[in-house]
Amino acid sequence: MFVSHQWLAENINDPNLVIIDTRPKIMYSHGHIPNSISLIVDQLIQLSPAGAHLAPDPQKVSQLLGNIGIDNDKTVIVTGELMDPSVFRIAWTMQYLGQKNTKILDASIGTWQSLGLEITRTSKKYTPVQFVPQIQDDIRIESDELQGLLGKATILDARTPQEFFGGHIPGSILFPFTDGIGQDGLLLDSKESLENLFSQREIPKDNQVICYCMHGHRASSLFYQAKLAGFENVRLYDGSFVDWYFKKLPLE
């Protein structure tokens, strides 16, 4: 799921790589990892009537991805900044759309620069290709199905304690995504540390794990924290609290 900054530095000119910069476009314009292209969360969501940030329409987004050089065979490296879950939401979206070679740079772009690795203002242009969506429904869940799993699945709330105690999905466990942020410029903690973190919260590995937050962004970080900790059956409720609240579904 992850590649190191050393690996990326050594393979940065590989023509089979597409490097995505998930930061705001103004930050990208001021300097970015060589050969990377700008792609932000807003380009890869569709808004519901409630304002929930849902997974994109596969057919609409396939042209966007194809135009920036992403097909089903390329290796896609998603990069971002510390504390910004955009990198994980975009990586999750690529995985949901069936791009099977998506990896996340384990260090932040700020860390990359602080290590003296090259930063450029030159924009990369990839040759357009065809991206064919192959939806992976096993990593996404919607409210109708989630209602039937209350009391059965393990539901993790990636928001802050203040948000959680203001109202949450019944039976959900408070698990702020920031608890799993790494040290020394790494986006996530080590596998061992994350295993310990989930163990301390008594999260059973044999149960289905569902992650949510307000818009599904912070929860996507928690999704990858759970995967790195060894959980296999993990899903993202991308509609999250905004969708649940709008539908007037039960709260605690």
- Tell me the per-residue pLDDT of 84-138, one tens digit each, with 9 for 90 and over: 999 999 999 999 999 999 999 999 999 999 999 999 999 988 999 999 999 999 9
Residue where a domain stops, chosen among 99, 116, 135 = 135
Helices (H) and strands (E) in the chain, counts: 10, 11
Sequence-distant (≥ 6) Cβ neighbours of residue 15 within 8 angstroms? none
| Within-domain flag for 252 | no
Query: How would you classify residue 237: left for phi > 0, otherwise alpha for psi between -120 and 50, otherwise beta?
Result: beta
Same domain, 6 and 130: yes
Burial class (CB within 10 angstroms; exposed 0-12, middle 13-18, buried 19+) of 23: buried
Same domain, 10 and 129: yes
Residue where a domain stops, chosen among 83, 117, 135 = 135
Same domain, 167 and 54: no
Q: Which two tokens stand for residue 26?
A: 């103004």
CATH number at residue 238: 3.40.250.10
Average per-residue pLDDT for the chain? 96
Tell me how far apart the alpha carbons of residues 96 and 82 are, in angstroms, rounded to a whole number: 23
Same domain, 9 and 130: yes
Sequence-distant (≥ 6) Cβ neighbours of residue 62 within 8 angstroms? 97, 130, 131, 132, 133
By the 8 A CB rule, do 77 and 17 touch?
yes
pLDDT in tens, 155-203: 999 999 999 999 999 999 999 999 999 988 999 999 999 999 999 999 9
Q: Give me the domain span that covers residue 123.
A: 2-135
Q: How confident is the model at residue 29 (pLDDT cuts 50, 70, 90)?
A: very high
Same domain, 67 and 191: no
| Within-domain flag for 251 | no
Domain count, the chain: 2
Same domain, 144 and 30: no
Same domain, 97 and 159: no
pLDDT in tens, 201-228: 999 999 999 999 999 999 999 999 999 9
For residue 187, which of 118, 120, 109, 115 has the smallest C-alpha distance?
A: 109
Residue 49 clears pLDDT 90, i.e. is over it: yes
Q: What is the pTM of this model?
A: 0.97
Q: Which range among 18-22, 75-79, 122-126 shows the weakest confidence by mean pLDDT?
A: 122-126
> What are residue 77's phi and psi, to 5 degrees?
-110, 115
